[in-house]
Amino acid sequence: MRNFLLHLRLNMSLVLAPIFLWGAFLSSGGFDLNFWLGFIAYHIFLYGGSNAYNSYYDKDEGPIGGLKNPPKVTDGILYLSVLFKLIGLVISWYINLSFFLVYVVFFILSMAYSHPYTRLKADPNFSILTIGLGQGGLAFLAGWFCHTTSISNIPLFISGIFTTIFMSMGMYPLTQLYQVEEDRKRNDQTFAVYWGITNSFRFSVICVFLSSISMLSVLYIRKTYFELILVAIVYLFVLSQIYYWAKNYQEKDILDNYEKIMKLNYSNAVGFMAYIIVHVIKII
């Protein structure tokens, strides 16, 4: 059981939580019962179950997202991971149909992402689309649908969802840079393995830049111009960190690369979360 709990990697929910919160915030929702049910279903049961499910099929021996030294996996982890996701599915039914359908789609994608018969993560192009549209787009929709199933401001909605899609796509190749050696051994043609280190960094910079344009568009639509300037500065800092890492990248420094992406993910997540929470509290 202890190994299963570790493989849930619930600390990674902190990294992904801002996507859900961003959707909830832009839908003008607050911290009501639906929000908390949706948040728990998504971040504990769906993400946790998906992480453990992925760990079972990967059987990594080196660092993985949220675990520097992953324990060995057993068949029990596989069964518990599916059970966890099913519990979240039941919870999602009590929120509304739109949220439930989003959950179902992500549930299926997460299975196809890891299972040997489909293994989307082993395809460089399908994997990046799965993460961008699934982890970035569907999580935003889940947060949005916690409060409303209607879309009254289409430009705001589109800019909001592209903010998270591009950010998820931008961060994803960087999370593979410390696993390149293990992925090659498994014959997994991940994005970083297939396109190479240099192109992975370039792709990341382009996507993060597009994410910044999308978020700045949201702030422009909302007429929060001072925040627009502050957010632009934050994005410039993130881009500079990625550029600095690219210039000093050493493939053999596995732990160093692992720590770099974890620090970047955590700092981005905490800053983004703090920004959203402050605004949601104002709405309440």
pLDDT-derived band at 268, boundaries 50, 70, 90: confident
Q: Could you give the percent of the chain with pLDDT greater than 90? A: 57
**Residue 187 scores a pLDDT above 80:** no
In terms of pLDDT, which residue wins out, 159 or 282?
A: 159
Pick from 126-135, 218-227, 230-239, 257-266: least confident:
257-266
pLDDT-derived band at 15, boundaries 50, 70, 90: confident
pLDDT-derived band at 262, boundaries 50, 70, 90: confident
59: left (phi over 0), alpha (psi -120 to 50) or beta: left
Q: Residue 230 sits in a domain of what CATH number?
A: 1.10.600
Q: What single DSSP character describes residue 64?
A: B
According to the model, what pLDDT value does residue 31 have? 78
Question: What is the residue-averaged pLDDT of the chain?
Answer: 89
Number of structural domains the chain divides into? 1
According to the model, what pLDDT value does residue 281 have? 67
Q: What single DSSP character describes residue 46?
A: I
Tokens of 153: 């401001």
Count of C-beta atoms within a 10 Å radius of residue 268: 20
Q: How far apart are CA 206 and CA 201, in angstroms?
A: 9
Pick from 39-53, 104-118, 180-194, 218-232: least confident:
180-194
Residues 6+ apart with CB under 8 A from 218: 26, 156, 159, 160, 163
Count of C-beta atoms within a 10 Å radius of residue 135: 25
Q: How far apart are CA 124 and CA 193, in angstroms?
A: 8
- CB-CB contact of 26 with 218 (8 Å): yes
Average pLDDT over every residue of 207-235: 95
Q: How far apart are CA 151 and CA 133, in angstroms?
A: 18
pTM of the model: 0.91
At 273, give phi and psi (nearest 5°).
Answer: -65, -45
Provide the residue range defining the domain that includes 211.
2-283
Pick from 82-91, 93-102, 203-212, 251-260: least confident:
251-260
Residues 6+ apart with CB under 8 A from 179: 60, 62, 63, 64, 190, 192
Pick from 18-32, 73-87, 217-231: least confident:
18-32
Report in angstroms the alpha-carbon separations of 1 from 7, 48, 52, 81, 277: 10, 14, 12, 11, 33
Q: How far apart are CA 131 and CA 37, in angstroms?
A: 23
**Residue 178 scores a pLDDT above 60:** yes
Q: Could you give the percent of the chain with pLDDT greater than 70? A: 97
At 67 the three-state DSSP class reads strand
Count of C-beta atoms within a 10 Å radius of residue 108: 12
Q: How far apart are CA 273 and CA 275, in angstroms?
A: 5
**Residue 108 scores a pLDDT above 90:** yes
Tokens of 93: 């039914």
User: 42: buried, middle or exposed (CB in 10 Å: 19+, 13-18, 0-12)?
Assistant: buried
Among 147-151, 226-230, 253-257, which range has the highest average pLDDT? 226-230
In terms of pLDDT, which residue wins out, 188 or 124?
A: 124
